Chains A and B, each alone.
Chain A
Amino acid sequence: MENSFIYQERIDHLRLRKFAQTREKIEVEGLLDEDDYGRVLPPANAWKSIPNHADGSFYGLDGWKTNFCNMMETHPVYVDPKDAFAGRWVYFMSRMRSNKWNPDYPFDHLKPDFEKYDIINGIGDDAHFAPDYQLGLSLGWQGILDKIEHYRKVNTSTEQSEFYDAHEKVVKSIQGWIIRHIDLIETLIAKETDPALKTNLEEMAEANRNIVSAPPKTLREAIQWIIWYHLASRTYNRDGAGGQIDEMLRPFYEKDLAKGRIDREKAVYLLACFMLNDTIYWQLGGPNKDGVDQTSEISFVILDAADKANCSINLTIRVHDGMNQELFDKSLYYLIKNKNAWPRYSGDKALVEGFMKNGFDAQLARQRIAVGCNWMSLPGLEYTMNDLVKVNMAKVFEVAYQEMMSDKSENPSTFKLWGIYILHLKKAVHAAAEGIRHQLKYQKYNEPELILNLLSHGPLERGLDVSDGGAEYYNLAIDGAGLAIVADSFAALEQRIETEQKTSWKEINYHLEGNFEGMEGERIRLLLKNSQHYGQGNSLGDEWAKKLAEAFTDMVRAESNPGLKHTFIPGFFSWANTIGFGQHVGATPNGRKSKTPISHGANPCPGFSKDGASLALANAIALIQPGFGNTAPMQWELDPTLATHDHAQLIGSIIKTHFEMGGTLINVNIMDKDQILDAHKDPAKYPELVVRVTGFTAYFSMLTPEFRQLVVDRILQS
């Protein structure tokens, strides 16, 4: 009981310190439309990058190795005596460049289509696939160095020699960083007067000494090892992927318990500190590769720890037929109790069956777990560019619509428009795929994955960067954005012009060009806006959405090349680009005004359903799943009047049903409408308010006014 009180006091201190650090970041760096990450402010005399190119940026093995190692030499050390673990990250190294793509490998030939179709091409983007933490926990830093030495002798070209040199230096610089933390901890031990905190620091120092070279042996050492790797990887290029956290830590926890080194309370404390360290994406529960549920006691300990930390947390519960019902119930309990946008849920059935359709077996498919914003990954086995490449399907619609309207030789129709749209969408998808192929060819000369290579199966073995043939699989993601805008636009045109004849192509075109200005413009806008939407169930909008989803899916799949083992996998997700994408698209026939945001991910447009929105949403999004193992997430703004413990089973049944129907991922917000409006007005009043913006969670107060407005609108219209 006494320990429990001490631990809670420490966790509360750490949480409040995290809030204060978030406030400092807002004051100094301004608002940011992304995850909080747990990063702290850089010092006043911040490290500066060392260019190795005439354009002022740094590229390639040498550029990244030199910069990372140089930065690590002076990277601030961070220890809080109330924390179980040392370390925080401060630098977005990948953002400290004047240019993110090496100009020696131009892609000018792709730019016209990128611009025309408003494609986020992902060239020069990084990470967004998962390392295998199990590998790191079994090898330790010295084991990784030994592996580098071993394969240096196998792969002996000059380029490979530089490849191994770079990785070796990176590992040693991380070790140096850890050693500098040990020095600081020892200094703090000498000064500490509180016996309990002194003991905590001594344990922290010992854990760190034990893992500078050797692999971790205890739960504390294992978590600290994960933290070091993760902080280095975050610093390098913002990598935030985690893994199957419960099964990864279970052996350490069970051994500690058996040897009397730990009790449950202490494990909760350790894991709460871990959750407060960073917002890594972890999966809990779900089947192992043989289909057996992996839930164990530590799965519950992790949930309890998340409850104690209750900050911005990215835990995903894997829902499957053999799921541990108790874990599911407990996750719902915390979802409802804290209303803090965690946990979220992924659907095993559709993800596994879908991924298998790419030609993989069930054992492999089950290992592809929720470790990113909207994405699944095989830890250590694949290079994916998940969540990096997006086609603005609303922009493609605009291109097709304008082409049809400028052709005076034939009367416009939705049939004709669809034909033109399909041609342009195909070109857009191909351009996106070409961008990925460019990245696969040249990324090693731009930004080699020096940290993620270490915990991947293949790069060190083959002497090749993970982007360049080092990975086992290339399951490459292209996401479509703006699905609801396009589906509703087609539906509105068909219903109002062709079926009801309430308006004409000419009239609609006039008002689109004029952005629905004036009373008559507004009247026509409402006619279009009130037509049959995607999400209403058996509506014209649903029909168009399904047709569009199927077409996009086929187009992305068609870019695959089995000979090169390049498998292209479609998804529907917009991440935080809804505002940016919207700014590039004029007024659309679904009644959307020019430059306003496009629809969110796979969701219908806000206000799509008069009642029963939760079921309508779950039905609609299940209907348009691309079905090859990537996601079309359901962003669920759950009404707080429903989100009571009395209704936990009902909420659980909606989650399960969505997944049975083919759903892949559910992100949940439970927001009181009055509170979110007040927080929008004065964000500083609600420093602890966390929202799941898209796949990621963020402190509401960190978001820009535009993004806060977007979240508010979504919640108010749900």
Chain B
Amino acid sequence: MNGLITTIQRMSIHDGPGIRSTVFLKGCNMRCAWCHNPETLNSNPELEWIQQKCIGCNSCTEVCPTGAFSSNNGEIQFQKEACTNCFRCLLVCYAEAIGKVGKEMSPEEVFAEVEQDFPFFKNSGGGVTISGGEPMLQPEFTQQTLALFNQAGIHTALDTNLSVSWKQYEKVLPFTDLVLADLKMINDRKHQQWTGKHNSVILENFYKLDSSGIPYMVRIPVIPGVNDNEEEVRALSKFISSLKNMQKLELLPFHSMGSFKYTNLEIKNPMENTEDLSKERLEYVQKILKQ
């Protein structure tokens, strides 16, 4: 069973312990306004255009059947809505200004690519993390990939929004050493407003995960103007307090480092004018959570 991957990030140090390789799967069932990996939202391969790399050679305009690529006074322009993802342009763009986001890989291919870094995992206490998008939208691939690494004695982590049926999780958790579970908001109305999805299944799954015996950590993205207010943080705090077996809580402060990806994909960035979370605001949230 192949999976659709956006990238395998080597030397990942923010997705679990030690030095890790994080496998980003393409496709997500949420539309969090602050998403810093927008290339993982769409469940199909798509085209990205990196304007800074373009040398204006017109090779793309010559092969584009729909006129999505055109030249205006020597400057190449791209209209995403006209693009049919035929990827003919990809073959002629030697400057690599055009890229295909989304690559099919088998669990064995992923394993082979990650394998070169096993010695670093061993010395750093690291391993492999399956992330996304939402990896549980490709449950069979996720299960098979985790199983391969698990059988090789490599530490495995699953980064998930806990939003799919628990039955699916029951299939992958036997091969998972650590779950990185995202928790955004407790207020369901706001959750739906900012992520496009209700949170009842998520909260329910948190309790199931808590009693599953699988080590897990909770990761909260802290987003200015969304969930960094006292009321929401206190609600989050109360919920976390009710969990008995959480190993660690991580706060992920909002940053705009992924904004260029929206540009490259010609997608509207819902938070393009939002500033990075300040250190003071993060400390404020931390203080409430500690109370």
A526 within 8 A of B: yes
Q: List residues 1-16 of chain B with CB under 8 A from any CB of chain A.
A: 7, 9-13
What chain B residues lie within 8 Å of A523 (beta carbons)?
Answer: 55, 57, 59, 94-95
User: Whole-angstrom distance between the alpha carbons of A593 and B234 in the complex?
Assistant: 60
CA A653 – CA B20 in complex, angstroms? Answer: 12
Given the complex of chains A and B, what is the CA–CA distance between A538 and B96 in angstroms? Answer: 21
B247 within 8 A of A: no
The interface residues of chain B lying within 8 Å CB-to-CB of A176 are: none
The answer on a CB contact under 8 Å between B119 and A657 is: yes
Residues of B within 8 A of A524 (CB): 94
Mark each residue of chain A from 584 to 620: 1 if its CB lies under 8 Å from any CB of chain B, else 0: 0000000000000000000000000001111110110
Residues of chain A lying within 8 A (CB to CB) of residue B10: 611-612, 615-616
Q: A537 to B117, alpha carbons, bound, how many Å?
A: 10
Interface residue stretch chosen among A80-88, A216-224, A642-650: A642-650
Question: Once the chains bind, are B120 and A615 in contact (CB under 8 Å)?
Answer: yes
Q: Is B19 an interface residue (CB 8 A)?
A: yes
Instruction: Tell me, yes or no, whether A154 is within 8 Å of chain B by CB.
Output: no
Nearest chain A residue, comparing its CB with the CB of B97? A526
Which residues of B lie under 8 Å from residue A434 when comparing CB positions? Answer: none
Could you tell me if B19 and A654 are in contact, using CB atoms closer than 8 angstroms?
yes
State which of B7, B11, B59, B122 has its C-beta within 8 Å of the C-beta of A615: B11
CB-defined contacts of A661 to chain B, threshold 8 Å: 119
Is B116's CB under 8 angstroms from A650's CB?
no
Q: Does B94 lie within 8 Å of A615, measured CB to CB?
A: no
In the complex, the answer to whether B55 meets A519 with C-beta atoms within 8 Å is yes
What distance in Å separates the Cβ of B97 from its nearest Cβ neighbour in chain A? 9
A: contact size bracket: 20 to 34
The answer to whether A653 and B94 touch across the interface, beta carbons within 8 angstroms, is: no
Chain A 612-668 residues near chain B, CB threshold 8 A:
612-616, 618-619, 642, 647, 649-650, 653-654, 656-657, 660-661
In contact, A530 and B124 (Cβ under 8 angstroms): no
Tell whether, in the assembled complex, residue A538 and residue B116 are in contact, meaning their CB atoms are under 8 Å apart. Answer: yes
Asked if A527 lies at the interface with its beta carbon under 8 angstroms from chain B, I say yes
CA distance A188 to B291 in the complex (A): 65
Which one of A522, A524, A615, A642 has the greatest number of beta carbons of chain B within 10 Å?
A: A615
Q: Give the contact-size bracket for chain B.
A: 20 to 34
On chain A, the residues within 8 Å of B120 by CB distance are 615, 618, 653-654, 657
The minimal Cβ–Cβ distance linking B84 to chain A, given in whole angstroms, is: 24
Q: Which residues of B contact A654 (CB under 8 A)?
A: 19, 120, 123-124
* Chain A interface, DSSP helix/strand/loop, else mixed: helix
Q: Which residues from A are CB-within-8-Å of B55?
A: 519, 522-523, 526
Residues of chain A within 8 A (CB-CB) of B96 are: 526, 530
A611 to B21, CA, bound (A): 11
Q: Is the CB of B9 within 8 A of A612?
A: yes
Contact assessment for B117 and A619 in the assembled complex, using a CB-CB cutoff below 8 Å: yes
Q: How far is the CA of A660 from the CA of B124 in the complex (A)?
A: 13
Q: Are B94 and A527 in contact (CB under 8 A)?
A: yes
- Smallest distance from the beta carbon of A500 to chain B beta carbons, Å? 10
Q: Which applies to chain B's interface (DSSP): helix, strand, loop or mixed?
A: mixed
Residue B18, interface by CB 8 Å? yes
Among A530, A537, A619, A657, the residue within 8 A (CB) of B123 is A657
CB proximity to A under 8 Å, residues B35-87:
55-57, 59
Q: Which residues of A contact B13 (CB under 8 A)?
A: 642, 647, 650
Smallest CB separation, A496 vs chain B (Å): 9
Interface pair B94/A537, CB less than 8 Å apart: no
Q: Closest CB-CB distance, A168 to chain B, in whole Å?
A: 54
Q: Would you call A653 and B95 a contact (CB within 8 A)?
A: no
Complex CA distance for A656 and B122, rounded to whole angstroms: 11
**Structural contact, B18 and A650, CB atoms closer than 8 A:** yes
CA A614 to CA B119, docked complex, whole Å: 13
- Which residues in chain B, 91-125, are within 8 Å of chain A measured between CB atoms? 94-96, 112-113, 116-117, 119-120, 122-124
Which residues does chain A contribute within 8 Å of B123, judged by CB atoms? 653-654, 656-657, 660
**A650 interface neighbour in B94, B95, B113, B124, Cβ under 8 Å:** B124
A619 to B118, CA, bound (A): 11
Interface centre among A611, A613, A614, A653 (most CB of B within 10 A): A653
Cβ distance A426 to chain B, nearest Cβ, rounded Å? 32
Closest chain A CB from B228 CB (angstroms): 23
Return the chain B residue nearest A496 by Cβ: B94
B131 to chain A, nearest CB (A): 14
CA A538 to CA B124, docked complex, whole Å: 23
A523 to B94, CA, bound (A): 6
A residues 33-61 touching B (CB-CB < 8 Å) = none
A611 touches B94 (CB 8 A): no
Contact (Cβ within 8 A) A526 B119: no
Nearest Cβ in chain A — how far from B111, in angstroms?
Answer: 13
Q: How far is the CA of A559 from the CA of B55 in the complex (A)?
A: 48
Residues of B within 8 A of A527 (CB): 94
* Beta-carbon contact of B94 and A526 below 8 Å: yes
- Which residue, of B12, B21, B57, has the highest number of chain A Cβ atoms within 10 A? B57
Q: Select from chain B the residue with minimum beta-carbon distance to A609.
A: B10
A661 to B116, CA, bound (A): 11
Of all A-B residue pairs in the complex, the 4 with the closest CB atoms, nearest first, are A612-B10, A653-B124, A527-B94, A612-B11
Known: A616-B10, A653-B123, A661-B119. 6 other contacts (CB 8 A): A520-B57, A530-B95, A538-B112, A615-B117, A653-B120, A657-B122
22 A-B pairs with C-beta separation under 8 A = A519-B55, A519-B57, A523-B94, A530-B94, A530-B95, A530-B96, A538-B112, A538-B116, A611-B10, A611-B11, A615-B10, A615-B11, A615-B117, A616-B10, A618-B120, A619-B117, A650-B13, A650-B18, A653-B18, A653-B120, A654-B123, A657-B120
Seen from chain A, the residues whose Cβ lies within 8 Å of a Cβ on chain B are: 502, 519-520, 522-524, 526-527, 530, 537-538, 611-616, 618-619, 642, 647, 649-650, 653-654, 656-657, 660-661
Footprint of A on B, CB under 8 Å? 7, 9-13, 18-19, 21, 55-57, 59, 94-96, 112-113, 116-117, 119-120, 122-124
